[in-house]
Amino acid sequence: MTGGAGFVGSHICDRLVAQGHDVICLDNLFTSQKSNIEHLLGKKNFEFIRHDVVHPIWLEVDEIYNAACPAAPGHYQYNPIKTMKTSVMGAINVLGMAKRCRAKVLQFSTSEVYGDPEVHPQPESYKGSVNPIGPRACYDEGKRAAETLFFDYHRSNKVNIRIVRIFNTYGPRMHPYDGRVVSNFIRQALRNEDITIYGSGSQTRSFCYVDDLVEGIIRMMNGPDTFIGPVNLGNPGEFTIKQLAELVVEISGSRSRLVYRPPVADDPMQRQPVIDLARKHLSWEPTVPLREGLKRTIDYFRSIDMESFRAPTPNY
């Protein structure tokens, strides 16, 4: 599990360890933290290796989950060249391992491959509208290039691949300073600080609770070899950023007020998945409503000492 100490990766590790798998977690701890996997370190079927996927590693495995890459704009823009290398060279390295070991390998791709979409909602057949030279391109185009590599290794070398395109995910173990909109709003609300909205707040997102996402990813890995994706995994419920902010304030009982800042470059105005393929091939769809998921996430943020976390980059 690359990126296994991250927000989503650590939840995948939990599931695999609980199922009795021998799990090797790789992470360089750039935007993740060891506390996410601390409870697993004493398990006989769990091993942690501090490693950067930009560099090759030789392991004997039968399944690879490739989640390594900073996912928030401030973090992936902090060192854009490294972000691109993580996506591209990381994909080459895990695909090479999968080829050598004859292992299944699943790529954590992203809804960002659709860019600022001209088609709404977004099916997997939509090829996207991405600015290849914009400030977000290191992540968007890095993930698109990784998908290309996965399919070329599949076509040329018969590597057994899977690709999931993940839409906005939230839940416990989000880093308070990961720069994602949910964690930003919750952190600000719990401190009764102004909640910062970039742009008008009318831009939309679809928020998927982490437990739902993990279930979809596990089903994709365990699914038939005839369905390799890409497949959208996300919640088709669509909310504006302003609605999200208001809901966080309401649930948390915060005294925060909403403040507006200029929009950021290339920020997509709409983001909503079509999940027909996931329903058909994986019998999957999300079950946790946004209000319930936010309540669980806010409870988690209340349970941690936010002052003990540091922002991974100066951008947050």
What amino acid is encoded at 267 in this protein? D
Instruction: Give backbone dihedrals phi and psi of 23, rounded to 5 degrees, phi first.
Output: -115, 125
The residue with tokens 């809804």 is 111
Cα 174 from chain centre:
10
DSSP 47-116: EEEE--TTS------SEEEE--S--SHHHHTTSHHHHHHHHHHHHHHHHHHHHHHT-EEEEEEEGGGGBS
Q: What SS3 state is found at 299?
A: helix
CA atoms of 102 and 170, how far apart (whole Å): 33
Cα 208 from chain centre:
10
Q: Phi/psi class of residue 229: alpha, beta or left (left: φ > 0; alpha: ψ in -120 to 50)? A: left
Q: What SS3 state is found at 140?
A: helix
CA atoms of 25 and 11, how far apart (whole Å): 12
Helix/strand/coil (H/E/C) assignment for every residue in 148-168: HHHHHHHHHHCCEEEEEEECC
Residues with catalytic roles: 139
Helices (H) and strands (E) in the chain, counts: 9, 12
